[in-house]
Structure 1
Amino acid sequence: QRERALLWCVLGAAWGQLRYSVPEEMPKGSFVGDVAKDLAMDLSLRERGVRLVDRRRTPYLALHGKTGHLVTAERIDREQLCEAVQRCVLHCEVIVEGEMKFYEIEVEVTDINDNDPRFKEAEMELRMSEITVPGWRIPLRDALDPDLGRNSVQSYELSGDEHFSLSVQAGPGGAERPELVLAKALDREEASLHELVLRAMDGGEPSRTGTARIRVTVLDANDNAPVFSQAEYTVRVSEDVPIGSILVTLTATDADDGMNGHVKYIFHKTSNRGSDLFHLDSETGEISLIKDLDFEEISSHELQVQAEDGGGLLDTAKVHGIVLEITDINDNAPSFREGDTELRISETTAPGSRFPLPEAHDSDLGRNSVQSYELSGDEHFSLSVQAGPGGAERPELVLSKALDREEASLHELVLRAMDGGEPSRTGTARIRVVVLDTNDNAPVFSQEEYTVRVSEDVPVGFTVVTLTATDADEGANGFVQYSVKKVTEKASKIFQLKAETGEIILLRNLDFEEGDYYELEVQAHDGGTLFDTAKLVITVTDVNDNAPEL
């Protein structure tokens, strides 16, 4: 009767299932439940033939044979193990082999707050017209948190700008959905970009937070008319001003963007005579002369110009022209379009060769414009000035003395342009002449003859001597390699010359008794066809390596 009661108790525990729970992320070997106690087994489980069966590819649970405790076999990550499952449960079985019985065990893995809320996009780009009505709402991406319950996303907050606020709506299943609300009217001309930060907080202790940056680009609306820089322009010009001259440039600006801010200029009101004399560039606002002026015929002109943007908004300005003679003054210095010029000339270039130099420009006229040039800086070069079209002077660089790159690879000159004003004004340009290398230097050994004494007992691989030759040329022209020009057959088997380094290496052991004197002729050659030759004498010294013979 006692055995029957005990069996009934065991079967009741087995078939009613053992249920345990364990928090995720517990270290390997953490206690889950006392199986031996819960199954009323007083002997060790190993002696009873009890074993745990976990059918997963990676077992997460283990049964301790001596204590009967169920423990974790691995660190358990609930989000990895049970992704998108609300209740995460591990199932295994305890089998009593001798009694042919098994018991089901169910272990629930409970959530801890080990994940931050995270937005799928860390940066959101929104575009909103500046005429959008306050109160307008834009749904935002919600944050995701693999944790459950209070450990998942609980609230949102927005920071960064008074123009926007945050509204959170309840979505399907009770999830919170953030919305961006326009709280204050936008003005692109005041601020074309608004940068906000959206934060998502979970309900854990302590709370975890995730952020996303929101950039709101304000799109332009045509809410600004063009505005001229002056309501009235007054221009004074000489009656002999040449045709094509720009008399004045009108400037109107529009605070709008794109086509709404693109300004075009049109004549609004002008006399027939004025329209014959003047041309208005619709894009630049330049008014230029298209026919000769005549002071005696008419002394002034009044024009009206409108500035119109891409949306049809207008502004109007008046242009008064009073014809007066203006005498030129020397108020501009000569200037070079490029302040630095680089020429590349081979060192074999023949003296007398010429190279064009940049011309100087001077906005003044007559004697006040460029009249002469001069060169300074180096005896290798001189200056020649040739007459160009229309009498303009064209400076040329003349090679006066042969170049040698090894003597000087760079020559720096200064070209000056002078006008004829009182006092004269000057403009300068720096001329850098880079001398290009040619193979005009042969390698040169540091010694014509190398004499080396070496003991007969030095090891194989020993560097007997390092030959050194230098070449003043550049690049491949100055790259030196070494070779043996003349050597006996015996010496060629004993010594090796490294082509790249000039090292003489011992190939096999020396024997004073076999030979105590070697002579080699070596050659250093560059990347071209030039070379130098040196003599190498190697004397082998004796060591006491032979016993006397009777």
Structure 2
Amino acid sequence: MPTVHLFLKAFLIMDHRQNLKGCLSFLLFSLLFSVSFGEVRYVHPEEMQRGSVIGNVARDLGLKVTDLDARRARIVAEGTRQLCELDTASGSLLISQRIDREELCAQATVCILQYQLLLEDPLQAFSIVLDIADINDNSPVFATGEIQLDLVESTVLGRRFPLESAHDPDLGTNSVREYKLSQNEHFALEMSTQINGNAYPELVLKKALDREAQAEHVLKISGIDGGYPVRSGTASIRVRVLDANDNVPVFSQRVYKASVPENSPIGTVITTLNATDLDEGVYGEITYSFSHLSDKMGGVIEINPQSGEVRVAGVIDYEEASSHELDVQAKDGGGQASHCKLIIDVIDVNDNKPVIEIKSASANVAEDSKPGTMIALINIYDLDTGSSGRVTCAIPDNLPFKLVSEVKNYYILLTDGLLDRELQPDYNITVTATDAGSPSLSSVKVMSIVITDVNDNAPTFTQREYNANILENKPVGTFVMKVNAEDADDGSNAKIHYQIANSEVSSFLTINSDTGELFTLRLFDYEQSVHFQIKVTARDGGGPPLSTTCTINVFIKDQNDNSPVVLYPVQSAGFIAEDMVPVEAPRGYLVTKVVAVDADSGHNAWLSYRIIKATRPNLFMVDLHSGEIRTVRAFMEDDEPKQTLIVLVTDNGPESLSATATVSIMLGDGLPVLSELFEFADESQDSDNLTLYLIIALSTVSSLFLLLISGVFYFKLCRRGYVYRSTTASLPVFPTTYCPPSFTDLSRCGTLLKDERYDSFLTTGSWRGDFRFGSNTDTDTLKKRSAAYQKNTLRRVSADRGSLKVRAGAPHPCYVIK
């Protein structure tokens, strides 16, 4: 057994002169005392070096050394003194600090330190008792270096004078065993025993004193202990020879007993000692004092030298010592003294709050921890005794934690519910320990628990759907908008990365993966596409990551980047269509109409017309909005038979663009004057009746619309034929493939869209729908002439147009020319 081994080690240090019987008795007592279920007891000498092995705890308790680290084993002291440590690699109990038996236990016969071997997972505790064996590490010391004795010369032979004992903090054989007196002829030294068995020296007069022969004697006394090696201490005895003082003070009791509550106020009277002396005068005056007072008791207890009152002089604490034994001396004026024993019992009161020690704690707890997860191990104890030392521990009820106690004075803090960092990121748990004293005392300790994040929340966009507007022709890299997603998690779990989800539009926009800012990757053309849709995914940095998606509707906004295109009259090199007008045409007669389109939309596609140059000024006028050319006056004989007009067509953009159309008009004799083309029959009537003008304008627009519908329907039926009006052989010709790919206006679109071609076009020579279709020869010629113009002016639909989703807006009153 480890106890036997350690006792044998202690005996090697003890005095080798002890007899065999004493050794065997000591060994038997130690063996019987160390047998305890669930505990191991070691005897170890004091003052051993740090790192010395006390014993192998793992072997003695039947534990595996490999389990010590796995189960987080450690040594826990009862109280605050941690003098030992556990070497988990070998299972040995080592000395970690200097152990001084006299400092720990003063002169108590048994000095025991209580420890716990604590295994956390699962929780298990073993008791370890360390019995500190005394070694001879202190020399005997006299309280004063010089002892004063006043003896009358008439002192009878054999008179005994008690001397102050030497004090040695060691115990047993290591304490003072004998005294020696220096060689002299008048005095001898003998030992006497007190009531409690303590031996003290007495000076015995062996030869009569003669003051006249020698008035003073100086002796040396040595106190020798029984340790090995032997230690000793010396003091001087100065004896003055006086005249008659033949009575010594006498105490009324040999042993005084008293009690005092701990923490009594300074000045509290504990007891009063009484000694009498039959002498008179100076020899009858008694002075009281303590023979020997330790450093700890020096400031706690004091005695009145004249009255013998013993009072409290400092803080008296039951936990420091439950009782005190003091030697009191009564000395008269002649130097004679007597001694008594004073025993003071300290009464325990509930003056110590419970102590809360966190032995193990996890500062961070994952929010997905299951109920029952261990958070901390708490040790609760109270230095008081009895009911004042019984302690209960509790935490608030409104927390997802609970306390469980499976080992005395130890509590385990466990989770008692589900944790959610997003609702409560941390907890300050107040642990309250309350004793059973009256009145009860309590201690409080606050434990801070931080809930660590788990990736249990997906990012959330501030909007499920966004709308963005991009102005066409903006350079690559133009900022579009910023999307924003939030994640309730923390740290890397809340770090959001953005990316475009639908790959078919990934070439249109790019997104900053960190900020969510969108930028263009190409130039956009409103005339090709007005709307497309992308999906953006926000993914957090958790493992595994969580994501969410939002939709962004992107609308392309129109810019005035297309100039008007004149469809009629055809503007090509070497060919200008001529319009015929009767010479007899009156004022206001409709001669022809300039037809132009603009690929832009909205205000940018609103066209206005005006004549900037004419063969004969003030002969013709053009309507500002419709482009109709009418006569301003009747023709005269001196008017040229061929008139040329240059019409400027301007759009309505912020920075307007324009085109010019050259109109050639021939005056023809014999042509009939059609009343339908006459606008200003009565000038006075025009000025007087505004309603009539409005009706005429509405009728004209309606007629043109019907004419357009009829023409389209007619061209569908007669698509492959050639039709001529016999009476309008000179009407202008619309080239079959002059027009752009399409003239369809959708929603916010302009007048040019859709990639379809037709060989038939509508003329504007008459509101009735005067149509003329050119021959193949003419058509081919015009196609060749207009090819370059179309290539540079009219935009083509891009190859990736199919990847764009065009959202059709509400129907607009736009003309569709096919």
TM-score range normalised by the length of the shorter chain: 0.3 to 0.5
**What TM-score, normalized to structure 2?**
0.33
More strand by share: 1
- Give the number of the structure with larger relative contact order, counting CA–CA contacts within 8 Å between residues 6 or more apart: 1
More helix by share: 2
TM-score normalized by the length of structure 1 = 0.48
Larger Rg: 2
